[in-house]
Amino acid sequence: MALSRPNRSLYFNPKLPRNRWNFALTAVAVGFSCIAVLPLILVLGYVLLKGGSFLSVSLLTELPPPPGLEEGGIGNAIIGTIVVTLIASLIAVPVGIGGGIYLAEFSRSGSFASFVRFGTNVLSGVPSIICGVFVYGLIVSTRLLFGQSYSALAGGIALSVLMLPTVIKTTDEALKLVPNELRWGSLGLGASQFVTVTQVTLPASLTSIATGVVLGIARAAGETAPLIFTALFSPFWPEGVLGPIASMSVLIYNFAIMPLEFQNNLAWAASFVLVVMILLSNLLARWISRVTSV
């Protein structure tokens, strides 16, 4: 019995109108994707070009020079950024995770939970300078913290306000992804809701929560406006959390507007270091999510 000849219409024909339209629209989509990524490439490339050449051991370990001198570094700003971000994390992470657990596990559809979710969405869109002015009026101008005005602690509080929405929303969504069968199995075995949350659902979503925490920290580390109103700036090494402290974002702002070439170069170098820190934080978040999904 002779084999029938295959239907030619099943083969790809680039001359057909539908295939031409498919190729054209695919090319348009690829072009838009390249345009979306282009600003990131240009920013990273330009910062690397302007600031990467100034990297050295002295840059990372010395104090900023006074105007007129051409030797120094950004060591105090690096330490100050870590200190302020750590303070913000110590405040925002427990509160944010606790709030997310309450929304996802104890009050999923209540009116209060809806209000908190709405407030979280609104807070995530509030400009960072508003948070800085709020903390300035509440803490700095009133000297509420041990009689001190500008301080690293006030800066950390301002950054924690910016971190809270990210941590709360990430925790809420991560816990919602946990299958209900795990909760039902735990409750069916006689465990309380508290034990179910702490021993079953929270460990199952811990990695997703950690990813959100890292992203929140990355956002807080790059903020400038809140720190100008709260932590101010100090050209010296940090001496505690109750006094003004240097930060990389404020150092970049101060040195970039100076009419001095060396200070401008330090601003570019600090920009490069800050971008690398934020980039590493985002890569860490992606690595955590990828490892946990395997």
Does 3 have pLDDT greater than 70?
no
Does 81 have pLDDT greater than 70?
yes
pLDDT at 180: 86
pLDDT tens-digit map of 210-238: 888 888 888 888 888 899 999 989 889 98
pLDDT at 159: 93
DSSP string for the chain: -PPPPPPGGGS--TTSHHHHHHHHHHHHHHHHHHHHHHHHHHHHHHHHHHHGGG--HHHHHSPPPPTT------HHHHHHHHHHHHHHHHHHHHHHHHHHHIIIII-SSSHHHHHHHHHHHHHHTS-HHHHHHHHIIIIITTTTBTTBSS-HHHHHHHHHHHHHHHHHHHHHHHHHTS-HHHHHHHHHTT--HHHHIIIIIHHHTHHHHHHHHHHHHHHHHT--HHHHHHT---SS----SSS----HHHHHHHHHTSS-HHHHHHHHHHHHHHHHHHHHHHHHHHHHHHHHH-
Q: Write the class of the CATH domain 79-247.
A: mainly alpha
pLDDT at 6: 57
pLDDT tens-digit map of 167-215: 999 998 888 888 888 888 888 888 888 888 888 888 888 888 888 888 8
What is the chain's mean pLDDT, rounded? 86
pLDDT bucket at 87, cuts 50 / 70 / 90: very high
Does 292 have pLDDT greater than 60?
no
pLDDT tens-digit map of 7-21: 556 677 777 888 889
Work out the percent of the chain whose per-residue pLDDT is above 90. 34
pLDDT at 278: 85
pLDDT at 5: 57
pLDDT tens-digit map of 111-130: 888 888 898 988 888 888 99
